């Protein structure tokens, strides 16, 4: 009891609050990545192993466009659109032929894609990490720390993208198409909805979201061909914890996990802080395998 | 009229040989070729062949799950890695380093991990199972990578190859050739054991689970128990492959525990043909050969995984049974 | 084929010729042939499991035909994806209704009326039409489809199909599980649609309703058409009825 009190006494409250902000920032990016993943799974029943690579490609295309034009935000838009189109193409070539087959074949196919994309990036850009400058250099005072505005912008922008997508899903014609397809693929077709194209569209949107996250995140870490791997793993953990196919659940889970990890890194190194997400995963699998935040569909 | 089991005893075809006979003849021919190989091949290729056999064993272990039980697992890198590290631990902490102890230690480590992973992941079906095995193998990667004091962290562990010892009879160093024979014996033995398992009543239940899990459960089989045992068996043989790899190469590294190794294993299975046991061995060999070929033709830097990845994807779409898939029925009789 | 029959076939809106379908190794449709003229109401009667629903599904492109063909307005539609067939003018109301449970009533209808070539005014008009046909749906316009009663879901399924402005509606057992009052409502709706010139191919087990609503009736057994006649010449005690529908 004494040691516990001592531990808590040693930690200044402001550090916890700073880690809360960090946790939310990381959580929002993770939420954006995980949303794309859970969307693709929820609507198409496809586990997209290549999602991390789409994230990575988004960052690399950003690097290229910034080098050519000097504008971060232009790169952001171009990279998201390019990867979305690439995603659509990949879906048409490799995943459409597999519709109706054993869902495990799509895991294998997307795994193959991730290998190809990763090695392509390695071949094209080399093994050294690239650096991307932050587009906004201003910062503000958060307790004793000078906290960069850019991080807050990331969180805000991710929220806007996710929110925008939610509105699209709820109110637009294509949003209705997507929801109808999710609920009854056969009747959606009988109503004239071109289901194969809905799938392609959803995959493209998911890919675009991944690329956007990759681009937003790139100034925080180096852009490197393996950057996707860690993220896709985290995203999968988040998606399982939040409930596969459950958009709201993944977002909450993403923030939850990131907050826990941020707090954990007060005491242990970041590479060990990931154990937290593993523990939560194991607990979820033990007690609520359908997901901690799963709402009955 | 006597009631003899038709498949095995009745002569088939013009040659008048039973299915069993053809199988064993084929087996002996292949074994003969592999035994003689180190005498004929230059050292590099002899070692290459040995390594292919080890990867083949790993792939075969995974086939028990993918091909026979219908569970795609990405967790084999953990079993393989733990086998390697378990052996390393035994070799580093006993004097003199004992081969058999290393094997035991490796198998024990792999089995323990397999039980742990199986307990959690077999609750879930299909895709969820695959994802959780993946996540678990990554968990072990992180643990191994960061627990530097025990596992050597990023750098892994280096140790020396133990002697081949049979108490009071033999104590000899391994040469490339004898190492090859040892690996060959282990792999061939494993193949025969696994074959026996898949053809046993237990194996039949596994295949029934693959065909229709709900029906198998409805008939009254404790499906989850069978699955856990399947994962453990699979993990055991994967661990064995890890031990062999460690002994062959004299080091253990965390890279092998990274889920990419699991992914490679799945690739060997798909290319070679799931549900055949031999297919994955071929798939492993094919993959390694292509990799070697590409790096020779185009240089070390050539991203061989790009064309290989494309081939893999194409195979999933157009040739899902794999190279040996057409022979699946025959091989399983 | 006589000249008259040829002409009849040439004028057919939907013409099914020698359809064969399989489910695994089971031979479900064993050479089904029938026609529906523009604006005609045609019945398809038979016991459970003879292939009536499969026939509708094959016309709609939801089931693949191994042999035979389906013509719509003279064009071959066998092999086309269902969503193209829907856009060409065939609407399908399945046996279990299958309305989109998570979508509201309006959203369900929207899957039909919100399509290319339909402007805002037209969309409003279609929605109003659906509500005038089915006032109960208007009351529940914002409710999720899954919360509607069985009869209301059937109304929604038919209304949804109407939103496509089809030339023919395929109705699969619309009165199944409905109260007698609703059954007669279905009859009225079929009559109203017929008045608008929409053709209907209706699969049913309810003989009186079928005979009252249809101009012609086909009888199916074991995957093929066995008998065919004008509804006016049939009656509830006709031997064909007993033969193909009796227990």
Cα–Cα distances in angstroms (integers) from residue A290 to residues A10, A35, A182, A275, in the given order: 38, 17, 18, 21
Q: Give the residue with greater pLDDT, B70 vs A196.
A: A196
Chain A residues in contact with C168 (beta carbon < 8 A): none
Give me the torsion for CA of B180, B182, B185, B189, rounded to 10°: -120
pLDDT class of B5 with cuts at 50, 70, 90: very low
Q: Are strands C75-76 and C67-72 parallel, antiparallel or unpaired?
A: antiparallel
Cβ–Cβ below 8 Å for C103 and A179:
yes
Does pLDDT of B15 surpass 70? no
Q: Are strands C224-230 and C216-221 parallel, antiparallel or unpaired?
A: antiparallel
pLDDT in tens, A88-128: 999 999 999 888 777 778 888 898 898 899 888 888 888 88
Cα–Cα distances in angstroms (integers) from residue B118 to residues A107, B85, B121, B130, C182, in the given order: 20, 20, 5, 11, 54
At A25, which helix (H) or strand (E)? helix A13-44
Buried-state track C59-76, b at ≥16 Cβ within 10 A, e below 16:
bbbbbebeebebbbeeee
When the pLDDT of each residue in chain A is averaged and rounded to a whole number, the result is 86
Q: Are strands C199-204 and C168-172 parallel, antiparallel or unpaired?
A: parallel
Please give the share of chain A, as a percent, with pLDDT higher than 70: 94
Q: Give the residue with greater pLDDT, B226 vs B40.
A: B226
Give me the torsion for CA of B279, B281, B286, B289, rounded to 10°: -170
Identify whether the C-beta of residue B128 lies closer than 8 Å to the C-beta of residue A240: yes
Q: Give the residue with greater pLDDT, B115 vs B178.
A: B115
Average pLDDT over residues A178-185: 92
**Which residue of chain C has the CA closest to A297?**
C102
Q: How far apart (Å, rounded) are the C-alpha atoms in residues A36 and A161?
A: 11
Q: Pick from C83, C110, C164: which is nearest to A189 by CB?
A: C83
A231 reaches B (C-beta below 8 A): no
Least Cα distance to C59 among C92, C87, C11 occurs for C92
Please give the share of chain B, as a percent, with pLDDT higher than 70: 91
Cα R_g (chain A), whole angstroms: 20
Identify whether the C-beta of residue A112 lies closer than 8 Å to the C-beta of residue B318: no
Chain C residues in contact with A196 (beta carbon < 8 A): 81
- Mention every residue, 6+ apart, whose C-beta is less than 8 A from residue C116: none
The distance from CA C117 to its chain's CA centroid, rounded to whole angstroms, is: 24
Angle between helices B223-249 and B43-63 (to 10 degrees): 170
Which two three-digit tokens encode residue A99?
């519709």
Helices (H) and strands (E) in chain A, counts: 13, 2
Chain C residues in contact with A100 (beta carbon < 8 A): none
Q: How many residues does chain B have?
A: 333
Q: Nearest 5°: CA angle at B79, between B78 and B82?
A: 80
Which two three-digit tokens encode residue B41?
């091949």
Does pLDDT of A134 surpass 90? no
pLDDT in tens, B237-255: 999 999 999 888 888 888 8
pLDDT in tens, A151-169: 888 889 999 999 999 999 9
Angle between helices C120-133 and C150-162 (to 10 degrees): 150
Identify whether the C-beta of residue C219 lies closer than 8 Å to the C-beta of residue C213: no
Average pLDDT over residues B78-82: 90
Which two three-digit tokens encode residue C48?
């459970």
The distance from CA C104 to its chain's CA centroid, rounded to whole angstroms, is: 23
* B98 φ/ψ angles, rounded to the nearest 5 degrees: -110, 125
Q: How far apart (Å, rounded) are the C-alpha atoms in residues B56 and B183?
A: 11
Q: How many residues does chain A have?
A: 297
List chains adjacent to chain C, taking adjacency as at least 3 C-beta pairs closer than 8 Å: A
Q: How far apart (Å, rounded) are the C-alpha atoms in residues B266 and B59?
A: 7
Chain A residues in contact with B316 (beta carbon < 8 A): 98, 105, 108-109, 112
Identify whether the C-beta of residue C224 lies closer than 8 Å to the C-beta of residue C30: yes
- Is the alpha carbon torsion for B23, B24, B30, B33 positive or negative? negative
Query: Omega into B105 within 30° of 0, i.e. cis?
Result: no
Q: What is the pTM of this model?
A: 0.85
Least Cα distance to C244 among C223, C213, C215 occurs for C223
Q: What is the largest CA-CA distance in chain A?
A: 68
Task: Tell me the residues of B at the A interface, defined by beta carbons under 8 Å apart.
Answer: 72, 120-121, 123-124, 126-128, 130-132, 134-135, 138-139, 142-143, 145-146, 259, 263, 266-267, 270, 301, 303, 305-306, 308-310, 312-313, 316-317, 320
Chain C residues in contact with A187 (beta carbon < 8 A): 94, 98-100
- Mention every residue, 6+ apart, whose C-beta is less than 8 A from residue B21: none
* B130 φ/ψ angles, rounded to the nearest 5 degrees: -60, -45
List per-block mean pLDDT (blocks of 10 residues) for chain C, which spans 247 residues: 55 90 90 93 91 94 93 92 95 93 94 90 93 92 91 94 95 91 91 94 90 92 89 82 78
Q: How far apart (Å, rounded) are the C-alpha atoms in residues B125 and B138?
A: 20
Give me the torsion for CA of A159, A160, A161, A164, rounded to 10°: 120
Does pLDDT of B6 surpass 50? no
Chain B residues in contact with A116 (beta carbon < 8 A): 305-306, 309-310, 313
**pLDDT for res A2:** 61
A104 reaches B (C-beta below 8 A): yes
SS3 per-residue string spanning chain B: CCCCCHHHHCCECCCCECHHHHHHHHHHHHHHHHHHHHHHCCHHHHHHHHHHHHHHHHHHHHHHHHHHHCCCCCCHHHHHHHHHHHHHHHHHHCCCCEHHHHHHHHHHHHHHHHHHHHHHHCCCCHHHHHHHHHHHHHHHHHHHHHCHHHHCHHHCEECCCCEEEECCCEEECCCHHHHHHHHHHHHHHHHHHHHHHHHCHHHHHHHHHHHCHHHHHHHCCCHHHHHHHHHHHHHHHHHHHHHHHHHHHCEECHHHHCHHHHHHHHHHHHHHCCCCCHHHHHHHHHHHHHHHHHHHHHCCCCCCHHHHHHHHHHHHHHCCCCCCHHHHHHHCC
Residue in the structure block whose two tokens are 């995957």: C223
Chains B and C touch (3+ CB pairs under 8 A): no
Chain A residues in contact with B72 (beta carbon < 8 A): 104, 107-108
Does pLDDT of A176 surpass 50? yes
**Which residue of chain A has the CA closest to B138?**
A233
Residue in the structure block whose two tokens are 């950003």: A62
pLDDT in tens, A236-280: 888 888 887 788 888 999 999 999 998 888 887 777 777 788 888
Q: How many residues does chain C have?
A: 247
**Which residue of chain B has the CA closest to A103?**
B127
Least Cα distance to C58 among C206, C215, C203 occurs for C203
Which two three-digit tokens encode residue C218?
């086909």
- Is the alpha carbon torsion for C32, C37, C38, C39 positive or negative? negative
Chains B and A touch (3+ CB pairs under 8 A): yes
**pLDDT for res C8:** 55
Beta bridge partners of C104: C144
Cβ–Cβ below 8 Å for C83 and A187:
no
Cβ–Cβ below 8 Å for A176 and C92:
no
Cβ–Cβ below 8 Å for A104 and B146:
no
pLDDT class of A4 with cuts at 50, 70, 90: low
Which two three-digit tokens encode residue A157?
């922008």
pLDDT in tens, A68-93: 888 888 999 999 999 999 999 999 99
**pLDDT for res B3:** 46
**pLDDT for res B282:** 87
- Mention every residue, 6+ apart, whose C-beta is less than 8 A from residue C156: C97, C99, C105, C108, C109, C134, C137, C145, C148
**pLDDT for res B2:** 46
Chain C residues in contact with A176 (beta carbon < 8 A): 103, 107, 110-111, 114
Q: How far apart (Å, rounded) are the C-alpha atoms in residues B206 and A246?
A: 32
Does pLDDT of A297 surpass 50? no
Q: Pick from A177, A186, A193: which is nearest to C62 by CB?
A: A186
Chain A residues in contact with C107 (beta carbon < 8 A): 176, 179-180
Q: Pick from A107, A278, A289: which is nearest to B130 by CB?
A: A107
Give me the torsion for CA of B201, B203, B204, B209, rounded to 10°: 130
- Mention every residue, 6+ apart, whose C-beta is less than 8 A from residue A289: B123, B124, B128
Which two three-digit tokens encode residue A151?
């991080």
Identify the three-state secondary structure at position A54. Answer: helix
Q: Pick from A180, A186, A196: which is nearest to C103 by CB?
A: A180
- Mention every residue, 6+ apart, whose C-beta is less than 8 A from residue B10: B4, B18
pLDDT class of A281 with cuts at 50, 70, 90: confident
Cα–Cα distances in angstroms (integers) from residue B263 to residues A199, B74, B134, in the given order: 26, 6, 9
All structural domains of chain B: 17-331 (1.10.3470)
Cβ–Cβ below 8 Å for A176 and C103:
yes
């Amino acid at each position: 009891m004494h040691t516990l009190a001592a531990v808590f006494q040693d930690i200044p409250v402001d550090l916890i609050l700073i880690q809360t902000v960090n946790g939310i920032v990381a959580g929002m990016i993770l939420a954006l990545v995980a949303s794309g993943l859970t969307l693709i799974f929820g609507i198409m029943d496809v586990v997209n192993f290549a999602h991390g690579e789409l994230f990575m490609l988004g960052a690399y295309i950003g690097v290229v466009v910034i080098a050519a034009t000097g504008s971060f935000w232009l790169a952001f838009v171009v990279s998201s659109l390019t990867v979305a189109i690439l995603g659509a193409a990949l879906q048409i070539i490799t995943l459409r032929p597999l519709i109706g087959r054993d869902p495990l074949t799509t895991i294998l196919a997307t795994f193959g894609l991730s290998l190809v994309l990763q090695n392509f990036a390695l071949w094209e850009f080399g093994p050294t990490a690239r650096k991307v400058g932050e587009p906004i250099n201003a910062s503000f005072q958060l307790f004793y720390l000078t906290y960069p505005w850019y991080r807050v912008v990331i969180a805000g922008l991710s929220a806007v993208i996710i929110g925008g997508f939610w509105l699209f899903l709820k109110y637009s014609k294509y949003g209705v198409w997507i929801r109808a397809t999710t609920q009854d693929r056969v009747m959606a077709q009988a109503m004239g909805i071109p289901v194969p194209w809905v799938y392609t569209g959803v995959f493209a949107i998911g890919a675009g979201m991944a690329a956007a996250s990759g681009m937003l995140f790139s100034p925080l870490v180096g852009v490197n061909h393996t950057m996707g791997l860690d993220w896709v793993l985290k995203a999968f953990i988040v998606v399982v914890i939040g409930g596969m196919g459950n958009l709201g659940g993944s977002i909450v889970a993403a923030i939850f996990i990131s907050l826990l990890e941020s707090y954990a890194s007060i005491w242990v190194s970041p590479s060990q802080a990931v154990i937290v997400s593993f523990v939560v995963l194991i607990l979820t699998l033990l007690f609520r395998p359908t997901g901690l935040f799963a709402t009955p569909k | 009229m006597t009631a003899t089991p038709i498949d095995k005893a009745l002569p088939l075809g013009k040659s008048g040989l039973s299915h069993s006979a053809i199988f064993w003849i084929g087996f002996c021919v292949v074994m003969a070729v592999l035994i003689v190989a180190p005498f004929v091949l230059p050292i590099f290729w002899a070692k290459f062949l040995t390594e292919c056999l080890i990867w083949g064993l790993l792939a075969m272990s995974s086939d028990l799950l993918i091909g026979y039980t219908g569970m795609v697992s990405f967790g084999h890198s953990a079993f393989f890695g733990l086998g390697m590290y378990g052996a390393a631990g035994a070799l580093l902490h006993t004097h003199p380093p004992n081969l058999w102890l290393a094997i035991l230690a490796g198998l024990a480590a792999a089995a323990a991990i397999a039980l742990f992973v199986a307990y959690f992941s077999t609750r879930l079906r299909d895709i969820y199972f695959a994802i959780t095995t993946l996540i678990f193998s990554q968990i072990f990667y992180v643990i191994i990578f960061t627990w530097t004091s025990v596992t050597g962290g990023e750098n892994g562990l280096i140790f020396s190859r133990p002697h081949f010892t049979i108490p009071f009879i033999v104590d000899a160093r391994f040469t490339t050739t004898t190492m090859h024979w040892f690996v060959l014996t282990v792999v061939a033995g494993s193949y025969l054991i696994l074959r026996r398992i898949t053809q046993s009543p237990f194996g039949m239940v596994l295949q029934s689970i693959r065909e229709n899990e709900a029906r198998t459960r409805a008939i009254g089989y404790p499906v989850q128990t069978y699955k856990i045992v399947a994962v453990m068996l699979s993990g055991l043989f994967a661990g064995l492959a890890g031990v062999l790899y460690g002994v062959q190469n004299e080091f253990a590294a965390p890279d092998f525990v990274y889920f990419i190794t699991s992914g490679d294993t799945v690739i060997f299975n798909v290319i070679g043909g799931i549900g055949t046991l031999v297919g994955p061995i071929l798939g492993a060999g094919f993959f390694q050969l292509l990799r070697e070929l590409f790096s020779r033709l185009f240089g070390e830097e050539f991203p061989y995984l790009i064309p290989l990845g494309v081939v893999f994807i194409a195979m999933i779409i157009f040739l899902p049974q794999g190279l040996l898939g057409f022979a699946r029925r025959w091989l399983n009789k | 084929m006589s000249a008259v029959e040829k002409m009849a076939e040439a004028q057919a809106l939907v013409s099914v010729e020698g359809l064969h379908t399989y489910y695994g190794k089971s031979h479900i449709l064993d050479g089904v042939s029938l026609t529906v003229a523009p604006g005609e109401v045609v019945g398809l009667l038979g016991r459970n499991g003879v292939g009536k629903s499969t026939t509708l599904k094959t016309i709609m492109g939801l089931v693949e035909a191994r042999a035979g063909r389906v013509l719509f307005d003279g064009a071959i539609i066998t092999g086309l994806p269902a969503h193209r067939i829907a856009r060409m003018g065939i609407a399908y109301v399945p046996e279990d209704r299958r309305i989109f449970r998570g979508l509201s009533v309006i959203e369900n209808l929207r899957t039909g009326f919100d399509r290319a070539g339909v402007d805002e005014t037209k969309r409003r008009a279609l929605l109003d039409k659906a509500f005038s046909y089915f006032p109960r749906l208007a009351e529940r316009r914002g409710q999720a489809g899954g919360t509607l009663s069985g009869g209301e879901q059937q109304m929604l399924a038919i209304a949804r199909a109407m939103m496509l402005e089809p030339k023919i509606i395929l109705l699969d057992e619309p009165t199944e599980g409905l109260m007698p009052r609703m059954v007669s409502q279905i009859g009225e709706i079929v009559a109203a649609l017929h008045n608008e010139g929409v053709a209907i191919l209706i699969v049913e087990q309810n003989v009186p309703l079928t005979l009252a609503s249809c101009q012609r009736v086909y009888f199916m057994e074991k995957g093929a058409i066995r008998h065919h006649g004008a509804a006016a010449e049939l009656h509830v005690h006709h031997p064909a009825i007993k033969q193909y529908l009796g227990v």
